[in-house]
Structure formats: C-alpha cells, structure tokens
Structure 1
Amino acid sequence: MRIERLRAFAQAWPQRETRRRSRLRHLYLVLRSALLWIVSILHFFPVCTFLVVLGMFIDPRKNDRPQRWFFRNVLRLAGVRFHVRYAPGFDPTRTSIFVCNHVNIFDAFVIYSAIPQFVRGLELETHFKIPAYGWMMKRFGNIPVPKDTNNPAAFRRLLRRAKQALDDGISLIIFAEGTRTRTGRVGPFQRGAFVLAQYTGYPIVPMSIVGSYEFHRTGSWMLYPSTITVYIHDTIETKGMRKEDIDALMARVHRIVAEPVERALAEREAAPEVSSASWRR
C-alpha cells in the first residue's frame, strides 16, 4: 500500500511541479508588469509636460531629437527590445504617407522611434482630450480625425489639412485599420489613407509592427517580455494614380503590411527564428 502511494506521488510530482512553476511565473509577470507601468508613467508625465512647454517656445522640428529620445525611452522603461528593418527600396528623404498596422497604445512610441524623418500622425480627435498625451499631440501638430469621417464636408477638411502638412514637408502616419487588433492579425483597411495618397500624389510607405501583440494586448494591463521589430517596406509611388486604382492600392499595401505579421505568427508556432537576411539595419 505504501509503495502504491509512493508510486502515485512520484507520478503526480511532475504535474505539481509544472503547476507550481506556472504560478510563480504568473506572479513574476504580474509584479513585473506593475513595476514597468509605474516606472513608465512616472517617466511619461513629467517629460511629456516638459516637451509640451518646450513646444510653446521652440518649433517642434528643432526639438525633434529630445522627442525621439522620450518616445524610445518609454519603450525601454516598458521592457521592450526594439529593432527596425528598412527595405532596400525605402527612400527616407521623401515626404511620405506611412501606413501601419495598429496593435496597442504603444504603437505611437514604436513608430515615432522607427521612422528616420520628421513625421506626425492622424489620430482620433478624442485622443486629444487625454491628459498629457493629448496636449503633447496637439502641441506637436498631429492632425485630429473626426469620428464621423462619412461626413463629406468633414472628410474634405481632413484631406486639405493633411495635404497642407505634406506640402510643408511633414510625413504622416496613418493606422489604416482604424482600430487596434484583438487577434494579433492585420484587420481590413479603410480607404482614407489611400484616398489621401491618390488626392495628393505623395508616396505610400507600408510599415509592419511585429511582436507588439505579444508584448501588450488591448483589454489587458499585462506587459510581457518581447522584442518588437518594425519593418519599413519599399516606397510606393502614387503620382498620377486614378481614383479607380485606390482599391487595388489598398489591397496591395494590406498584403505587404500583413505578410511579416502572418509570417511571425506562423513561425512562432513552429519555433524557428524569423529570417531577416534581405533587410538592412
């Protein structure tokens, strides 16, 4: 009888040990997430306020370097390892419309740290009401997007304002999905970014954020150890494009943006490391 109990205990031990390690791992991740949020927030608000005040006296173009330091530092303090891969056909000297997948609230920090030129974003007008962050976005010159973009007059005003920014040499970032992913995959694109490209003739640069969904997911406060890689793809010409070509352009850009994301999801299941031999740092 005693031997049977010992045998049963020995057989159950690996499962008990696995559960114990799982609980310890979860506790570690909870404590780590709480600490990273505290450190990030303590860094975010004072530095953000400083940059807002600085922007009252200095043109944002002239203090772009401290802004980039701030955005990248938020990622570091949140525990993110960060890499950028530039495709050979990307032209960093041209004012462009960057179209990117939307993952979580850290996307703005990721993208601003990755694009090697002066750039601003189109954001929902409700974001401009967020304390500190909204003030900073307004002071930096980001463009508010009205909730009702189906209103023709409001959409025309948005197009004119975006064109003026591009004509002034300011590249723009647009999340073409219009919402953050809940699955890790790239959702359907909305037409606005591509209508803007056809209307203005400025080129589009597709961007892919990979690894951010594993770091932080919408609806959760947990921050997991992760490496985020941003792929900046070849520049796509739009000058002379007809309105009839907008849907084909949208499908092409969606395919380009989604490919590294889908590849990473598939390779994560199969375990091998994602190859990046055709990309340059």
Structure 2
Amino acid sequence: MKIFRIIYTIYAVGVFVILMFVFCLFIVTPILISPQGGKVTFFFIRLWASIWSFLVGISYDIQGKEHLDFTKPYIYIFNHRSSLDLPVIPMAIKQELRAIGKKEISKIPVFGFIVSRVAVWVDRKDTASRKASVQRLVEILRKGISVVVAPEGTRNDSGQTLLPFQSGAFRLALETQTPIMPMAVIGADRLMRRGSLILRPGTIHIYFSTPILPENIKGDNPVEQLTEKCFSRLEAMILTHE
C-alpha cells in the first residue's frame, strides 16, 4: 500500500508543478498590469486549484457559506495543520484575497514568484518587517480586499487543537473594524499527515461560522478579548466537527 501512496504523491506533485507552469502567466500578468487585475488573477488561481484537486481525487465539502457576503472584506482565520491548506483557501473563499506568508516561501523558485503577487511577506523575527506588513494589510483591507491569516503563526504539528494565537490579526481587525471570519479546516492533515510528505486522496471539510465583529468588543484590553473570543470560536468549531 505504501508504494502506491508514494506513486500517487509523485503523480500529485508532478501535476501541481505542470499546472503551475501552465497557469503562471495567466495568474501573474493581470495583477502586474493593473491593481484591478486581482479578480482575474484569483480566477486562474482557483482554476489551478480546482483542476489539480479533480485530477488527484481531492474534494472539498464546504459548510456555512450562508454566513459569507463576498461583497465585503473579511479577515479570515483558519487552523493550519497541513500543506494541503494551500488549495483549500481559493477553493473555499470565492473572492479576491491577500495572505500573510513567511518570507522563506518567496525563495521557492517559480512558486514563490507567483505567490508573491498575492501575499504579504513577513519576517516575524524582524520588527520593521512586521510593522511594514501590518501597514500593507491595512491598505489592502481599506481597498475592500479580504485577508487570510493563520493566527497560530506556523503549522500546528502538535497534538493540541490549536496553538496559542498571535495578536497581529486581531489588532488589524480592531484598527480597520473588519469582521473576522473563522474557518475550520478538517481532514487536510489526514490526507497529508504531520511530518510526512505522502499524500492520499479524500475529502477536506471546511466550516464557516457567523463573523465576529470587532465593534462588539468592549473592555480595557480589546486585543486580548478579541483574540480569546476568536480562539474559543475556532476551537469549538474544530472540536464539534472532528
């Protein structure tokens, strides 16, 4: 059985790379030509993700779409357990996005170049980099473009439901008064287990809840209160659906 999974993984990675080269110019060119080209760019990103998913036998079950209004910007937060979270985002969220990403990813040949068009890179060890990324995200949200963040700050390879949240996304929500949309991703780590590069086909389940509105947060420490509320909501969603 393991040899078949290795063959399948090689096939899936090969398909991913081939599609990356096929769609590269279609993804990069519109947003380079015009800032309004982002919608076209994300159409091709979703097309890349959907074709790859179909060819490798990965499907997505999305629940709670009634809570979303794609005419409005959100700060999406999700639990990050697997590298397969990458295609989950464009498949689940049907609007233009910008993502916070680790600066190291930008160094991956071709892939880093493509993702750089729709990501805000941050070096978490560099205070100036963190401040610059926050300012860039404020500008993006004020243009009506949503942002997606993994508030744990890294992939969760532990046995905990969630790692402690970093506060950046919640400071950003309070500063811009942008609703936070919790998104629970269930099953991605079963298709690509923690610490393994081996893939297998299957279904990834995505759940949305009602948005959390920063204007409803009152008290002496709104950042901490908002962070705790979002942590509790996302944790409850994961425990309910796992």
Contact 1:40 1:77 survives alignment (8 Å) = no
Q: Counterparts in 2 of 1:24-43, with a 5 A limit?
A: 25-43=1-19
Give runs of aligned pairs for residues 67-106 of structure 1, distance below 5 A. Answer: 67-86=45-64, 88-106=66-84
Whether 1:227 and 2:203 are equivalent positions in the alignment is yes
1:31 match: secondary structure: helix
Q: Is residue 26–residue 41 contact of structure 2 (8 Å, CA) maintained in 1?
A: no
State the match for 1:192 in structure 2.
168
Distance across 1 between alignment mates of 2:217 and 2:234: 20
1:139 corresponds in structure 2 to 117
TM-score by length of 2: 0.87
What is the rounded CA distance, in whole Å, between the counterparts of 2:2 and 2:108 in structure 1? 31
Describe the superposition over 1:185-239 as per-residue Cα deviations: whole angstroms up to 9, x where unpaired. 3222111111111122111111110110101134311112321011121111113
Change in Cα spacing, 1:240 to 1:158, as seen in structure 2 (3 Å) is farther
Matched residues in 2 for 1:257 and 1:241: separation?
A: 17
TM-aligned CA deviation for residue 247 of structure 1: 1.6
Q: Which amino acid aligns with 1:260?
A: M
- In the alignment, the residues of structure 2 paired with residue 36 and residue 127 of structure 1 have an alpha-carbon distance, to the nearest angstrom, of 20
SS at match of 1:36: helix
What does 1:261-272 align with in structure 2 at a 5 Å threshold?
261-265=238-242
Runs ≥4 residues deviating over 4 A: 240-243
CA distance in 2, matches of 1:62, 1:49: 12
Query: Which has the larger Rg?
Result: 1
Structure 1 CA distance, aligned partners of 2:47 and 2:230?
30
Aligned-residue identity in percent: 26
The residue that corresponds to 2:143 in the other structure is 168
For the residues of structure 2 that align with 1:73 and 1:258, how far apart are their CA atoms? Answer: 31
1:218 and 1:100 map into 2 onto residues whose CA distance is 17
Letter in 2 for 1:220: S
Q: Which amino acid in structure 2 is aligned with residue 232 of structure 1? A: F
| CA deviation map 1:144-196 (0-9, x unaligned) | 112325x2x44332222111000111100000011112146322211111111
Q: Is the 8 A contact 2:184 2:206 kept in 1?
A: yes
Q: Distance in 2 between matches of 1:108 and 1:30?
A: 20
Q: Structure 1 57/31 Cα, relative in aligned 2: closer, same or farther at 3 Å?
A: same
Partner of 1:62, secondary structure, is: helix
- Aligned alpha-carbon RMSD (Å): 2.3
Unaligned runs of at least 5 residues, structure 2: none
